[in-house]
Amino acid sequence: MSPADDYQDIRDAVRALCAEFPPEYHREVDGQRGYPEAFVDALTKAGWLAAMIPEEYGGSGLGLTEASIIMEEINRAGGNSGACHGQMYNMGTLLRHGSEEQKQLYLPKIASGELRLQSMGVTEPTTGTDTTKLKTKAERKGDRYVVNGQKVWISRIQHSDLMILLARTTPLEEVKKKSEGMSIFIVDLHQAIGNGMTVRQIPNMVNHETNELFFDNLEIPAENLIGEEGKGFKYILDGLNAERTLIAAECIGDGYWFVDKAAAYAKDRVVFGRPIGQNQGVQFPLAEAHIEIEAANLMRYEACRLFDAHQPCGAQANMAKYLAAKASWEAGNACLQTHGGFGFACEYDVERKFRETRLYQVAPISTNLILSYVAEHILGLPRSF
């Protein structure tokens, strides 16, 4: 049996919850540029967003495979996991590198829904993908760190209680390797906003709440440092394989949604006296999209399998994200084309899903950077940066 056929109980349960939030719900939230509050609450109450939190902290202790199925099903049902996926992987940073005290303090509350850890602040406006050059500094002053700098594209700040923040604690000139000297902190957003941290929302193509953050002497208690000072970049990297694999699963959910939607429309829509789906010019792009989604799915399950077995999975996670983001984008394009003019009408949801899935060629990592990873780390080609 293929992994895609396993976990039917999880699929059925998530599908049943998603069915309570039909396409009209997501369309309306998108139209209002709102947040799917009721949907995220329902997912939280049902325990789905605590899937990867160990049972001893109130979660269900499931693996990445199960978590990825939850994300896939949300997107396959016409929703958008982008509103809530941060919690799935951000809590992993705390789980792997936080002290027992921090885990006891936060994880049970995250699992119960009392606290949301939906945000991670890494990207900066002047340095972009070149993360080790980031300029936000955190200086230790007694029992606090004082943060100054700026971040951009930091998502879900206005719907989260906590944020993981990456900042430089030792100047770049003073470290042996550029990846050293950065640290991560857990920031209480309610305390921070208005007390050294300002938030400015960025209107954007997708209904994705994302923001510029400005730090002007933001004070963070020293006990909010996660792990050892100076090792933050390594800790963030540790979490990327889970993030990439989960995003791959979301793209696969989108891909299936596009192909199913397009196939149904192509059977129904009659032009020149026959269903448009009888024309090979309409069939082939959909068949091709289906093949590519299925292929991406195999790589996604391989990344999940290795991750859950605690084996290295950087190559598979990156390749799954690459293949799935490309497959969902091409499926979206084929779906839109199949719908002709109606693909542009909001009531068909195609244009919304088309915008949503496009993001994954750029964030959380752009396609070029994955190609660069494969070229250098797998093929052993010389480093280009």
Ligand X SMILES: Cc1cc2nc3c(=O)[nH]c(=O)nc-3n(C[C@H](O)[C@H](O)[C@H](O)COP(=O)(O)OP(=O)(O)OC[C@H]3O[C@@H](n4cnc5c(N)ncnc54)[C@H](O)[C@@H]3O)c2cc1C
Q: Which positions are annotated as active-site residues?
A: 243
Closest-approach residue to ligand X (CB): 128
Assess contact for 327 and 251: CB atoms under 8 A.
yes
Q: Could you tell me which residues come within 8 angstroms of residue 294 by beta carbon, excluding any fewer than 6 positions away? A: none
Q: Is 339 exposed, middle or buried (0-12, 13-18, 19+ CB in 10 A)?
A: buried
Q: Could you tell me which residues come within 8 angstroms of residue 21 by beta carbon, excluding any fewer than 6 positions away? A: 36, 38, 39, 42, 77, 79
Nearer to ligand X, 129 or 217 (CB): 129
The pair phi, psi for residue 155, each rounded to 5°, is -85, 155
To ligand X, the closest distance from the beta carbon of 131 in angstroms equals 9
Nearer to ligand X, 222 or 363 (CB): 363
To ligand X, the closest distance from the beta carbon of 362 in angstroms equals 6
Q: Which of 59, 73, 62 is nearest to 13 (CA)?
A: 73
Q: Under the phi-then-psi rule, with left for phi > 0, alpha for psi from -120 to 50, and beta for the rest, what region is 262?
A: alpha
To ligand X, the closest distance from the beta carbon of 55 in angstroms equals 28
Nearer to ligand X, 8 or 384 (CB): 384
Nearer to ligand X, 122 or 282 (CB): 122
- Give how far Cα 182 sits from Cα of 79, 170, 221, Å: 36, 7, 17
Nearer to ligand X, 94 or 276 (CB): 94
To ligand X, the closest distance from the beta carbon of 193 in angstroms equals 16
Q: Which of 316, 324, 334 is nearest to 357 (CA)?
A: 324
To ligand X, the closest distance from the beta carbon of 372 in angstroms equals 6
Nearer to ligand X, 97 or 208 (CB): 208
Taking the alpha carbons at both ends of the chain, their separation in whole angstroms is: 43
- Distance, in Å, from the CA atom of 349 to the CA atom of 343, rounded to the nearest integer, reads 8
Which residue ranges make up the site for ligand X (CB under 6 A)?
Answer: 120-123, 128-129, 153-155, 204, 208, 210, 359, 362-366, 368-369, 372, 384-385
385 token code pair:
């940066």
To ligand X, the closest distance from the beta carbon of 332 in angstroms equals 16
